Every structure is written in structure tokens, then in C-alpha cells.
Amino acid sequence: MARPQVFNQQQVMAKAVECFWLKGYSETSLADLLTAMGISRSTFYNNFGDKRQLFRLCLQAYGQQTQHIIAMTLLSNKFSGLESIRQFLHLVLLAPTEEFSSRGCLLVNTLAETARVDDELNQLAKQLMQSVKLAFIQQLQKEFDQAASIRHGEWLFTQLLGWRLQTQLGIAKNILEEQIDWSLLQLKQPMK
């Protein structure tokens, strides 16, 4: 008894994610969003609240994609321990095309952009990133004791942040792979 929505909600959201992913929150204008999403101003405000609300939704959506990758690697039964972490890192850092990996990670980008400027969005991104660190630690517990797992997990997480920045600076893929291998190798060695 009413006109149905003509646009695909998820498809339009994906376009919005791409915008924010490319240029960040504040540098993405409403005009950018509207043309990319292919909807009118009115439709935008009727369906997504406002720019800020849409960004929250985009962070959530992106976070779920990340969860999906985590499920395929860190929580999968195909790999375990350090090997699952390697698979994860390869998938997020090495597998994407140059165009994609040069965008970095929306969550990390948001962390950097909103630090000391926008507490709410910063907290949100931070919270969504936690699951990665926790999944790291969880996997490490298969090979290390509790304390070492936490220590190593946080150490790897720090490096993930560094690698994410490096991909935006255009680091060569082979160097990146070398670094990942080297870092994981360190954890394999029995050491004090």
C-alpha cells in the first residue's frame, strides 16, 4: 500500500563506506556522499539521519567486514596459532590490490583522524578495533602462556598499526611481506 524503496540499502551504504574510506570523515562532503550514493539530499536525510549518523553506520558495517576476515582466519579451524595470524595479515595487508591497500584501514584512519578532536568517533573506532587485538591474543594462547600471549598480541597489534600506515605511504609489497615474516619469526624462536 506504499511505494517501496527503490535503492538497495546495503549497496548505497557500501558507496558511503568507500567515500569515508578514501577521504576520511571531515574531508568527505555531503556532495561527495550524494553523488557517490546516487540519491537525493532529501532521501539522504530521511534514511540515514545525518552525516555523523551515517558515518557511525559505516564504521559498524566496516567493522563487520573485518569480523568476517577474522572469522575466516583467526577463528577458523584451518589454521591455528601463529599461522592463523599470518593468514590474517596476508589477507588484510598483502592480498588487496594497490588501490585498496593504499586506503589503509577505515578504523585505523579514523583513529588517527579523530584523536584529540572527536572523542565519540574515536572511542567507537577504538572499540571496533579491539576485536582484532583480542583475536590475536586468543590465538597466541594456543602456543604461549597467558602473560606471553598478551604481550605478544599487543606487540603484533602495534605493528599492524605501523603496517597500516606504511601501506598508505606506498611501501613495497615485498618489503611488507619480509617484515611480516620477520616479526612472526621472532615469536617462533624460544627466547627468554
Name, in order, each residue with C-beta under 8 angstroms of 148's C-beta and a sequence gap of 6 or more: 140
d(CA 132, CA 153) in angstroms, rounded, equals 9
Could you tell me which stretch among 28-36, 94-102, 120-128, 134-142 binds DNA (CB under 7 A)? 28-36
Provide the residue type at 77 as one letter.
Answer: N
Asked if 174 is part of the footprint of DNA (rule: CB under 7 A), the reply reads: no
Name, in order, each residue with C-beta under 8 angstroms of 114's C-beta and a sequence gap of 6 or more: 25, 121, 122, 125
Contact 178, 90 (CB under 8 A): no
The entry of a copy of itself, DNA, none that residue 52 binds, CB within 5 to 8 Å by partner kind: DNA
Asked if 126 is part of the footprint of a copy of itself (rule: CB under 8 A), the reply reads: yes
Give me the least distance between CB of 8 and a copy of itself, in Å please.
26
Segment 1-30, which members bind a copy of itself (CB under 8 A)?
22-24, 26-27
d(CA 1, CA 100) in angstroms, rounded, equals 43
Rg (CA), the chain: 19
Q: How far is CA 184 from CA 15, 26, 66, 165, in A?
A: 35, 36, 21, 19
Provide the residue type at 97 as one letter.
Answer: T
The entry of a copy of itself, DNA, none that residue 126 binds, CB within 5 to 8 Å by partner kind: a copy of itself
Could you tell me which stretch among 38-46, 61-69, 72-80, 163-171 binds DNA (CB under 7 A)? 38-46
Segment 74-93, which members bind a copy of itself (CB under 8 A)?
none
Binding residues (CB under 7 A) for DNA: these are 1-7, 28-31, 39-43, 45-47, 50-52
Binding residues (CB under 8 A) for a copy of itself: these are 22-24, 26-27, 102-104, 108-109, 111-113, 115-117, 126, 151, 154-155, 158-163, 165-166, 168-169, 171, 175, 178-179, 182-183, 185-186, 189, 191
